[in-house]
């Protein structure tokens, strides 16, 4: 009985949740941006699964980073994007994480943005 369970569980243990192909890098460097001028970037991806998927949630590490995404199902072989806006209220270096959760994946995907906010003083 144990061997039957292991035989059936084996494909599940090594099954890849990757039904998303990222078309842009998972990390974006804004470089130098101007103080108090929001900067935006679009992370693009493709649904490589045979079923439609949804973006269940997108979480950020602070209120200075705002994500925006479609609530509509993303059809197989279609592309979509996640818009990320960084509000440059504080001067200096920043590095932020954005966690994306898709309907058919167990773990979220971590996206990152970084850069340096400089003033016009």
In a domain, 26, yes or no: yes
Q: Which of 96, 113, 24, 114 is nearest to 60 (CA)?
A: 96
In contact, 30 and 117? CB cutoff 8 Å: no
Domain span at residue 113 reads: 17-118
In a domain, 82, yes or no: yes
Quick one: what percent of the chain has pLDDT higher than 70? 84
| CATH code of 67's domain | 2.60.40.10
Tens of pLDDT, residue by residue over 55-97, are 999 999 989 999 999 999 999 999 999 999 999 999 999 999 9
Q: What is the mean pLDDT of the chain?
A: 87
In a domain, 25, yes or no: yes
Helix-strand-coil percent breakdown of the chain, rounded to 5? 10, 50, 40
In a domain, 1, yes or no: no
Q: With a threshold of 0.85, does the pTM exceed it?
A: no
Tens of pLDDT, residue by residue over 3-27, are 544 444 444 333 345 689 999 999 9
In a domain, 2, yes or no: no
């Amino acid at each position: 009985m144990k061997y039957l369970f292991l035989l059936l569980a084996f494909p599940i243990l090594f099954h890849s949740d990757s039904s998303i192909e990222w078309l842009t890098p998972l990390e974006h460097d804004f470089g130098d941006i101007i103080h108090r001028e929001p900067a935006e970037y679009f992370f693009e991806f493709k649904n490589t699964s045979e079923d439609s998927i949804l973006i269940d949630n997108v979480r950020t590490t602070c209120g200075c980073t705002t994500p925006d995404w479609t609530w509509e199902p993303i059809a197989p072989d279609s592309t979509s994007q996640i818009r990320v806006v960084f509000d440059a209220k504080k001067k200096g270096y920043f590095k932020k994480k954005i966690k994306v959760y898709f309907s058919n994946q167990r773990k979220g995907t971590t996206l990152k943005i970084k850069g340096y906010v400089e003033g016009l003083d």
